[in-house]
Chains A and B, each alone.
Chain A
Amino acid sequence: MHYKNKINKKILFFRKNEFSNAFLRFLFIYCLAVSFLFLFTMLIYSNLNFSAPLDDAFIYFQYARNTAFGNFFEYVKGEGYSSGATSFIYVFFLIPFIYIFKGQYLIIATYIIGGVCLFVTSYFLYKLIHHITNNEKLAFFGVLLFVLNGNILWGFFSGMEICLIFTFVILALYYIAVPSETYKKILALCFLSLTRPESYILVLIFFIVKIFNRIYNKKEKLLVYLIPVFTGLIYFLLNKFFTGDYMPNTMRAKSNFSLFYFDYTEMIKHGWVFYLQFLKDIFNGGKEHYFLHYSLFFFLIGIMPGVIKEIKNKKMEFFSISFFWFFIGVMATMFSSFALVHNFRYTMPFTIIFILFLVNGLKFVFDTLKISKYSLLVMAILSVFIVFNIFTFFANIINFGRDCNAIYSQSIQAGKWLRENLKDKKVAVNDVGAIQYFFNGKIFDLVGLVTNHQAINFRNGLPGVFEALERIKPEYFMVHIGWFNYEPYTIFKKPKLAEFSIKREPPYYVIGSPEICFETDMSLFQSGDEMLKDFTENGNFILKDKIDICDIIDEKEHSYKIWVKWRGEYPGTELYEENSKYSGKRIIDAGRITSGGEQFKIKNLIPGVDTKIIIRTYNNPRNLLDVFINGQKIGRWLIEETEGFSENEFFIKGDYIKKTEEIIKLEVVSKNRYNSFYYFILQKKT
């Protein structure tokens, strides 16, 4: 009997291991197969050329290439560090491959990284589900739910950092849930903190949860978890050191909280509308895109009881951390105008937490309804999820191929064309990924991802970018005409040099408009920098200062502010070009429009001397503005209704000028909005 029990135990153990080994074998073969499948799909759709479904992947390639050869995080060699890589750490994963794969072949590296990450992620997902459900079959089901989801596979092979976030999130959760050495947890959290700004938020959430636990349990470790917190700061500190700004350019270009002007309530509402839409359409299956209908409900059943229990026991651990990571993590990705693009790639990594607890929720329902683990009903229910996933697989392999084709047809071709035709020229570009990777020349990123301090211009629209172009003076443009359409202006008047179009807008692209190359016509650059009308009174007044509105640098030098009358409104930007009615000279100028007012500093003044402020407007309605100097109201400025570019003066008695620099405030009294393109400050000759 004793021997029989021993043998039975051995058989059981072997069977368990047999399953594990078989599972590992299956997983390995599947990950290998699916990596090849996506690689071949890309090759087929791109006519046997290498491409990626996203232009942004090439940004990482460029950073990795330059860094590998000694130009640390330089996007354009010789121009210094720039913070255009969303993921600091992903670049380092690519660097070893730079020495093996040259040029377009580097894309192969993303399939290797993606495949390995898929394997590791799936394996730890399996172990974690097994740990919380104690059910091998459900763990296997969870892995199938994950690896068969076409959207997730699209993310893993997109060439982006998405696969890394998946991996580090599941590793961190695994080591939180399963008793293990502290160093493993810390290591996973350290990697997570460097993967993306949103994943750094996850690490902060973890630390805050630890603080709460420590309040109720003095034995709770705390200080050691400062290691990942400080590790994550490395990227921000590097940014500050090299660029003067903690935040990376990617956040400045995309985050709603980096807009030139915003109300917090509007931004929060904007993000939360996306958030609820996301919960309903994606996680609850509303759009039949990622998950089956009502998946959110099973997810909540799977996570909420555990969260409540942990809170009641005053020890928040695995369930609570997962809950906060999911809900706050998803929310953190929503405060961006790009939140819903590229197959929701910013939010995609959180699907692994969703799947984990979706499975747990299903298990909960099966257990409490006392449905046998292996019954036909369980199999039927689980198979619905798998069948749905299979269709997502088909859908996304097509999407993947089409996206790769679009990038190859446009961005890669454009980059190669530039290399052949404009090798040493300065080119203003959008999108900047594949174009620069294949061009490897002197580019200026109009969006501001890889060109420092440009993002704020981009947030001011075409007018803001134009003012920056007057300083940069790029010789050529290679742009998506849907993003930077300067065709109505002289700047694009020279003949089009090249055009790269796609037949149809690709599935997960932001805008599929043609990519066009123009030589810049700079004849009108700075044409607006002189007064159109003579306010000097035969030389009795001389120019002391001027402010080019919408020129960020000039505005900053003059401490420029703008506001609106009503919350929820936004001051706009405008760009016009015409022949001046005063001189006949053609000018182009950018400006701002508002219902509220403006404030700015005027400099180089002589105290006690009569002064004039000249405003340049365009098609302005009749306006009445209150004028203040240093908070003191000095009069009302009536600006009559005008057509085209017009200039109007306001006289300030010398008594009001007490210092060499004064703060001028203009406040709208009338109901109309007014615009301003330039301010000139003149003083009487002494």
Chain B
Amino acid sequence: MERYFRIIKDVPVNLLLFLLGFVFVFQVSLTMFYSNNIVTFSNKFSFYSINRAVDFADSNFTTMKFDINYKKEINGVLYPFVISFLYKIVGKNNIVPLLYVMSFLVFFIISIFFYVVSEKFSGREISLFSTILFITSMPVIISIYSGTDVVLTFLLFALNIYFLIFDVERRKYKGALITSFLLFFCSLTSAILGFISLLYIGLKFFNKKIKTDYNKIISVTFILFFIICAVFLFYILAEKKDLQKTPLFETKTFFVNTFFKDGFLWSELFAPFVGLFFYIGMFIKVFGDIKNKEITFNIYSLFLTVAVLLMEFFSTFSSETETIFFISPFYFIFVLYACYGLYYFSLIIMKVKNINKNFIFTGLFLFVLFYNVILVFNKSVEQNNNIRFIANEFYIQKFMEK
């Protein structure tokens, strides 16, 4: 326990709490503005899990049904399991407000882990800036306050990353293994995250043997991983009743961004060149590993990125899915590498490590922050516009009664 308190020793906790508090107040206020002063979630997927939790609790924790109101890529077992206990304590009327508070706490924990990881990954100079960009990223905020299973997935994912970087590097596997296994129970897409983590642990464990025939083993692993992921994601995401009627096949004119639900390099979710810096950061880091025949966290990130790109692609096979509710944990890695790429670029241009004097980095950081704020506002308003369409559904209405 003492170890975890040591983690936050150098973290600017007050600043993070202030920023996260501001985000919390904004999200709650906006939702209440759109729902006639009721604290609610603006998507039906969250209520799928909440209802599942209620039914599970009401059955004395014996039966959890998945016959209706179930989205394979978004809903799972673990999250309703956890909130069923909360429901038993606070009741129907208070479960949603409580989940908002829990989301705030989860966000705080995740941001601390992000800060610590960023400090190790990119250096202390930019860890605070990276963290601010992370906690103001639109998909991160929207997913954390969505009330869906992704909240728990995100928390476990952040913990998993921490263990992968700090423990697995030192050949301590317990924390990483536990969080990896738990990810299998959040949803089918989070199972992929767990799988990648286990794959990485395995590669790390057999690191010395792999080095003897590095290129071949990594290539074969990658190809197999790609195939397994693709097949699995097709099963999860494709609306298989009539494949010809999926949005992808109904597209009249194909462009590059037709193949990605959120645009090429996530261009719909972030400022224009952030995806480019992510690519640059990842390229530099991974290139170094491959050149030195190493298995490091960067290889894990590469596998994760490929998996998420496949998720983006197969999401185009579905007309009803919302990628923010299952891909968002990936943006932990995305922002990490993007900030690294940005810093790397600004160092080359300005040759100044000190962020306060590196005006390129600071300037671009401010622009991305400004862009993030606008994106968050727009998406939050868009999401909250859903409330009036779902408010009359029976399984949602019962939680909205005053």
Question: Which residues of chain B have C-beta atoms less than 8 A from A567's C-beta?
Answer: 33-34, 36, 384-385, 388
CB of A221 within 8 Å of the partner chain: no
Question: Which residues of chain B have C-beta atoms less than 8 A from A280's C-beta?
Answer: 267, 272
Q: Which of A275, A364, A568 contacts B34 (CB 8 A)?
A: A568
Residues of B in contact, count (CB < 8 Å) = 33
Q: In the complex, are the beta carbons of B367 and A569 less than 8 A apart?
A: no
Q: In the complex, are the beta carbons of A276 and B381 less than 8 A apart?
A: no
Complex formed: what's the CA distance from A176 to B130 in Å? 35
Complex formed: what's the CA distance from A220 to B79 in Å? 59
Shortest Cβ distance from A412 into chain B, in angstroms?
37
Q: In the complex, are the beta carbons of B359 and A309 less than 8 A apart?
A: yes
Q: In the complex, are the beta carbons of B378 and A276 less than 8 A apart?
A: yes
CB of A273 within 8 Å of the partner chain: yes
Q: In the complex, are the beta carbons of B363 and A307 less than 8 A apart?
A: yes
Shortest Cβ distance from A334 into chain B, in angstroms?
11
Question: Which residues of chain A have C-beta atoms less than 8 A from B371's C-beta?
Answer: 276
Give the residue name and chain of the B residue nearest to A331 (CB).
B374
Shortest Cβ distance from B129 into chain A, in angstroms?
13
Complex formed: what's the CA distance from A225 to B317 in Å? 59
Given the contacts A566-B34, A568-B385, A305 and B363 also touching, CB distance less than 8 Å: yes
CB of B186 within 8 Å of the partner chain: no
Give the residue name and chain of the A residue nearest to B272 (CB).
A284
Over the window 386-402 of chain B, the binary record of Cβ atoms lying under 8 Å from chain A Cβ atoms (1 yes, 0 no) is 01100110000000000
Complex formed: what's the CA distance from A368 to B382 in Å? 42
CB of B349 within 8 Å of the partner chain: yes
Complex formed: what's the CA distance from A190 to B256 in Å? 48
Interface size class of A (residues with CB under 8 A): 35 or more
Give the residue name and chain of the B residue nearest to A269 (CB).
B381
Q: Which of B349, B367, B387, B388 contacts A300 (CB 8 A)?
A: B367
Question: Which residues of chain A have C-beta atoms less than 8 A from B391's C-beta?
Answer: 566
Question: Which residues of chain B have C-beta atoms less than 8 A from A368's C-beta?
Answer: 348-351
Question: Which residues of chain A have C-beta atoms less than 8 A from B19's C-beta?
Answer: none
Complex formed: what's the CA distance from A307 to B226 in Å? 45
Question: Which residues of chain A have C-beta atoms less than 8 A from B34's C-beta?
Answer: 265, 566-568
Q: In the complex, are the beta carbons of A300 and B363 less than 8 A apart?
A: yes
CB of B310 within 8 Å of the partner chain: no
CB of A209 within 8 Å of the partner chain: no
CB of A301 within 8 Å of the partner chain: yes
Given the contacts A304-B367, A365-B349, A297 and B381 also touching, CB distance less than 8 Å: no
Give the residue name and chain of the B residue nearest to A368 (CB).
B349
Interface residues in B357-385 (C-beta closer than 8 Å to A): 359-360, 362-364, 366-367, 370-371, 374-375, 377-378, 381-382, 384-385
Interface residues in A292-322 (C-beta closer than 8 Å to B): 294, 296-297, 300-301, 303-309, 312
Greatest chain A CB density within 10 A among B351, B356, B381, B388 is at: B381
Interface residues in B75-120 (C-beta closer than 8 Å to A): none
Q: In the complex, are the beta carbons of A308 and B359 less than 8 A apart?
A: yes
Q: In the complex, are the beta carbons of A276 and B375 less than 8 A apart?
A: yes
CB of A653 within 8 Å of the partner chain: no
A-B contact count (CB 8 A): 87
Q: Which of B273, B351, B366 contacts A297 (CB 8 A)?
A: B273
Give the residue name and chain of the B residue nearest to A264 (CB).
B33
CB of B30 within 8 Å of the partner chain: yes
Interface of B is mostly: helix
Question: Which residues of chain B have C-beta atoms less than 8 A from A15's C-beta?
Answer: none
Given the contacts A276-B375, A565-B388, A265 and B33 also touching, CB distance less than 8 Å: yes
CB of A472 within 8 Å of the partner chain: no
Shortest Cβ distance from B106 into chain A, in angstroms?
26
Q: Which of B356, B359, B362, B377 contacts A272 (CB 8 A)?
A: B377
Give the residue name and chain of the B residue nearest to A286 (CB).
B272
CB of A279 within 8 Å of the partner chain: yes
Question: Which residues of chain A have C-beta atoms less than 8 A from B36's C-beta?
Answer: 565-567
Question: Which residues of chain A have C-beta atoms less than 8 A from B392's C-beta?
Answer: 671
Q: Which of B364, B367, B377 contacts A269 (CB 8 A)?
A: B377
Q: In the complex, are the beta carbons of A301 and B374 less than 8 A apart?
A: no
Over the window 250-284 of chain B, the binary record of Cβ atoms lying under 8 Å from chain A Cβ atoms (1 yes, 0 no) is 00000000000000000100001100000000000
Complex formed: what's the CA distance from A272 to B348 in Å? 33
Q: In the complex, are the beta carbons of B388 and A308 less than 8 A apart?
A: no
Given the contacts A304-B360, A308-B362, A308-B363, A294 and B273 also touching, CB distance less than 8 Å: yes
Question: Which residues of chain A have C-beta atoms less than 8 A from B384's C-beta?
Answer: 567-568
CB of A268 within 8 Å of the partner chain: yes
Complex formed: what's the CA distance from A300 to B349 in Å? 14
Complex formed: what's the CA distance from A327 to B375 in Å? 15
Q: In the complex, are the beta carbons of A272 and B388 less than 8 A apart?
A: no
Shortest Cβ distance from A353 into chain B, in angstroms?
15
Complex formed: what's the CA distance from A276 to B375 in Å? 8
Shortest Cβ distance from A18 into chain B, in angstroms?
35
CB of A641 within 8 Å of the partner chain: no
Complex formed: what's the CA distance from A121 to B387 in Å? 50
Interface residues in A452-468 (C-beta closer than 8 Å to B): none
Greatest chain B CB density within 10 A among A284, A365, A566 is at: A566
Shortest Cβ distance from B26 into chain A, in angstroms?
11
Given the contacts A280-B272, A308-B363, A568-B388, A269 and B382 also touching, CB distance less than 8 Å: yes
Shortest Cβ distance from B383 into chain A, in angstroms?
11
Shortest Cβ distance from A113 into chain B, in angstroms?
36
The 10 closest A-B pairs by CB, nearest first: A304-B363, A305-B359, A566-B388, A269-B381, A568-B385, A567-B34, A308-B359, A368-B349, A308-B362, A272-B374
Known: A269-B382, A369-B349, A567-B33. 19 other contacts (CB 8 A): A265-B34, A268-B381, A280-B267, A296-B273, A300-B367, A301-B360, A303-B363, A304-B362, A304-B364, A305-B363, A308-B359, A308-B366, A312-B356, A565-B36, A565-B388, A567-B34, A567-B388, A568-B385, A671-B392
Q: Could you show 21 A-B contacts with beta carbons less than 8 Å apart?
A: A268-B381, A272-B377, A272-B378, A294-B273, A296-B272, A300-B363, A301-B349, A301-B360, A305-B362, A308-B362, A308-B366, A309-B359, A312-B356, A327-B370, A364-B349, A368-B348, A565-B36, A566-B34, A567-B385, A568-B34, A568-B388
Binding site for A on B (CB under 8 A): 30, 33-34, 36, 267, 272-273, 348-351, 356, 359-360, 362-364, 366-367, 370-371, 374-375, 377-378, 381-382, 384-385, 387-388, 391-392
